[in-house]
């Protein structure tokens, strides 16, 4: 069975971390209670899809935390459906636009939410929600987007720009970073690295700080690691190269995760009180 239907959503929480409330939505078409979620649009990144669905169904703007275990189940037509979820914290309330799909959003304590939810797999998400700390700080390591061939470029390699695919990857990264809301952007001085963060920087009204220690020519394992660790006290996105990021990821993670990032891919390292809670890798 290869035709997998992809969807994404979030378990949104508010209040105290030790005793949170979660948002549960009612869908009149199915007369069920679940977490906000929905099918991805063609070509939509799974994280961008989760943000869109949350806003459409609840009117809430959220900041994402760590990923939760994906849910799989069979549809009536026999196809497999996969739904990816993230923890999410409310930062702004608005008006939902999918009123025909969701007619109620209620905030419930965890025990009451568990009783209200229609599907057992949603109850499983609640167990995963509280398995580790809810409040985390993201460090996002981004490998620059595609930038043509190094061999075909005749000028200074630091001036080599993104190609058409790389530009599209940068736009996707901008949509994804909106979910983590990094307030600090740091990049290798190389043009392709700066360009990869530029769409998000423009949308968020943020400067991009250039650091030579993130470049291919000035990378130093100890000094670059020290720099990035200092940055990680607040939500930050770092754009660098395929020759730099694997070493950084290997030094920063103790979860045994693969350290390779294709061009345009990124890793999100969630920290709580200085300790690594989870590491996620995504392509664009």
* CATH number of the CATH domain containing 61: 3.90.79.10
Last residue of a domain, one of 69, 99, 129: 129
For residues 60 and 92, state if they share a domain.
yes
For residues 99 and 141, state if they share a domain.
no
Can you give the pTM of this predicted structure? 0.94
For residues 196 and 171, state if they share a domain.
yes
* CATH number of the CATH domain containing 261: 3.40.50.1240
What is the domain extent for residue 166? Answer: 137-282
For residues 102 and 183, state if they share a domain.
no
Last residue of a domain, one of 74, 103, 129: 129
For residues 254 and 150, state if they share a domain.
yes
For residues 90 and 175, state if they share a domain.
no
Task: Please state the rounded mean pLDDT for residues 199-215.
Answer: 98
For residues 141 and 259, state if they share a domain.
yes
Last residue of a domain, one of 110, 129, 148: 129
For residues 143 and 278, state if they share a domain.
yes
pLDDT in tens, 38-65: 999 999 999 999 999 999 999 999 999 9
Task: Please state the rounded mean pLDDT for residues 85-109.
Answer: 88
pLDDT in tens, 140-187: 999 999 999 888 888 898 999 999 999 999 999 999 999 999 999 999
Quote the number of domains for the chain: 2
Lowest mean pLDDT among 38-52, 104-118, 246-260: 246-260
For residues 142 and 125, state if they share a domain.
no
For residues 226 and 259, state if they share a domain.
yes
Burial 65-87 (b: 16+ CB within 10 A, else e): bbbbeebeeeeeeeeeeebbbbb
For residues 124 and 165, state if they share a domain.
no
């Amino acid at each position: 069975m290869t035709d997998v239907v992809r969807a994404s959503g979030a378990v949104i929480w508010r209040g105290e971390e030790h005793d949170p409330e979660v948002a549960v939505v009612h869908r009149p078409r199915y007369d069920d209670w679940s977490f906000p979620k929905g099918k991805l649009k063609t070509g939509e990144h799974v994280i961008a899809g989760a943000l869109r669905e949350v806003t459409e169904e609840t009117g809430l703007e959220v900041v994402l935390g760590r990923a939760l275990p994906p849910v799989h189940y069979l549809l009536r037509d026999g196809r497999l459906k996969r739904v990816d979820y993230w923890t999410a914290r409310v930062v702004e309330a608005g008006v939902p636009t999918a009123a025909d799909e969701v007619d109620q959003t209620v905030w419930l304590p965890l025990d009451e939410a568990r009783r209200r939810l229609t599907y057992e797999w949603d109850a499983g998400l609640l167990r995963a929600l509280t398995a580790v700390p809810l409040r985390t700080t993201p460090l996002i390591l981004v490998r620059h987007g595609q930038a043509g061939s190094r061999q075909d470029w005749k000028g200074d390699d630091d001036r080599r720009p993104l190609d058409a695919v790389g530009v599209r990857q940068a736009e996707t990264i901008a949509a994804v970073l909106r979910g983590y809301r990094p307030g600090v952007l740091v990049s290798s001085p190389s043009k392709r690295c700066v360009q990869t963060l530029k769409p998000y920087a423009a949308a968020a009204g943020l400067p991009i700080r250039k650091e030579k220690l993130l470049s291919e020519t000035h990378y130093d394992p100890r000094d670059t690691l020290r720099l990035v660790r200092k940055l990680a006290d607040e939500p930050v996105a770092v754009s660098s190269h395929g020759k730099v990021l694997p070493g950084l990821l290997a030094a920063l993670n103790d979860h045994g995760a693969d350290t390779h990032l294709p061009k345009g891919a990124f890793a999100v390292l969630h920290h709580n009180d200085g300790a690594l809670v989870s590491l996620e890798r995504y392509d664009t």
